Amino acid sequence: MNRIQQETDLPERVKIVEVGPRDGLQNESATVPLEVKVGLIERLGAAGLPAIETGSFVSPKWVPQMADSDRVYGAIRKRAGVGYPVLVPNSRGLAGALKAGVQEVAVFAAASESFTRKNINSTIDESLERYRSVVAEALDSGLRVRGYVSCVLGCPYEGAITPDAVARVAGQLDSMGCYEISLGDTIGAGTPRDARDMIRVVSERIPVQRLAAHFHDTYGQGLANVLAVLQEGVSVVDGSVSGLGGCPYAKGATGNLATEDLLYMLDGMGIKTGVDMGRLLDAGRFICEHLGRRPVSRVGQARWVRKD
């Protein structure tokens, strides 16, 4: 098989990880009631999404929207075969997650020194050392652990980030025992070539089958970037229902790529996901009606009036 053929190969199936209830809602200024969060998560589960981030066990001082994550997790009617991961930034967060009975957690690192300092007031190496004990304890407790790397295609403070810097951080999370590493373009500044080149470098260190894409859509490059990494062998992509979200440490960054738009592209290309568009749109309408605004997703906007 020649190089051109390899680059046009696409996976037969893609796993969509839904991050809207955590990554999306955490940036909302008005408190979203517990019953609305639970209603959103259950609708997303009914749509066939195999993994749904349900919350974040962080200090309510820093992320007040996530203060009820333990109660949200407890109130969800869990579906067989669906994962409900939560974010834990430290050992205290892990203790709360374990008390709530979670089965999967996620830890976040960044490929940018400046972003790491602004976000958690530490260096990259200090953050990784902190996560090492958190991941070890989680694994010892029988939990699955997913790793995230932020700022993989650019930083709001440093600008360009090299693929080698991303690979170094991703490799550390991999060595800790994370089963999958999600690579996040936090400010949504990357282009398809950037995304492709980054994946090629990181996959020299971690098998591409254990990498995921997490692309924000600030500059409208999200879908193009997803296509670029699918052609490199990535088959797990994060999405946020109705394009909810942003980043408190990256001014101007929009939400993660809208799950509806991602699904529309994958469906149109014949790539299987197991996700039902109608039910996904229902979930998007549900949360947008509560928030009092129209969906950010292109598919949601196109079908908002039609209600189909």
Q: Which residues are catalytic?
A: 247
Q: Under 8 Å CB-to-CB from 108, ≥6 apart: which residues?
A: 87, 89, 147, 148, 149, 150
Residue 208, judged by CB atoms within 10 A of its CB (0-12, 13-18, 19+), counts as: middle
Residues with Cβ < 8 Å from 262, sequence gap 6 or more? 16, 222, 223, 226, 237, 239
